[in-house]
Amino acid sequence: MPWTLHSAEERAAEAPRSFFIPAAELRRSLSVGDTVKLIFHLERDDGEVAVERMWVETVETDPYVGLLRNEPHLGGVIAYGDRVPFAAEHVCGYAYSAAELGYDPDTPCFLLQRVAEAEDPPALLLRTEGGDWEAHAREETPAELEDADRVLAWTLGYLTDRFPQTEAPVREASADDDEAETWWEWQAGRYVRVDDR
């Protein structure tokens, strides 16, 4: 076969702090019409090889079969609309709508690399007046905040995949019409809104 699928479960197990996949319960209970992201290994007859993440719309569920909803960068192997049999282990992303999530997953979020790599959720979350987000450690130095190599530009979707605990304040802020700067602090296993930072 000129293409195969990578196991997202194996990749997540190899890099749990940087490779996030949807919960097993979701991956094992897809419905017709759900759109998921899979990792394709493509190999063309001329020897050209590529690994591409592409979206597939689920059209059958027992077992899973989808229709490719991307045009691959490497042509001549698989095409838009082709049938793709897959399993729950292959699913590396799920196309939630902003309405389903309760927030826009493409909203920018900035954080230090050490915050991203920590075991625990960020100690502090900030929604700026402009509507962007920041995730902070309790102690940060001006030097590291000014070092572009230490500051990551994520999205809210990536933040909430990495730290599911952050979804509650993100949803709360999205439902709040007040666009003022707002802080949340991680306290005793949950985020608490704080107004005196």
What does each of the 197 residues of the chain score in pLDDT, given as a tens digit?
699 999 999 999 998 877 889 889 999 999 999 999 999 999 999 999 999 999 999 999 999 999 999 989 899 999 999 999 999 999 999 988 888 888 998 899 999 999 998 889 999 999 998 889 999 999 999 999 889 889 999 999 889 888 889 999 999 888 876 678 899 999 999 999 997 55
Domain boundary among 95, 120, 137: 95
* Residues 82 and 151 occupy one common structural domain: no
* Residues 35 and 51 occupy one common structural domain: yes
* Residues 159 and 91 occupy one common structural domain: no
* Residues 83 and 122 occupy one common structural domain: no
What is the number of structural domains in the chain? Answer: 2
* Residues 111 and 147 occupy one common structural domain: yes
All residues at 6 or more sequence positions from 117 whose CB lies less than 8 Å from its CB, including other chains: 17, 18
Q: Which string of DSSP letters, residue by residue, matches 152-191?
A: EEEEHHHHHHH-GGGHHHHHHHHH----S-EEEEEETTEE
Q: For residue 9, what are its two tokens?
A: 């479960």
* Residues 91 and 146 occupy one common structural domain: no
- Domain of residue 66, residue span: 3-95
Q: How far is CA 50 from CA 43, 57, 188, in A?
A: 7, 21, 45
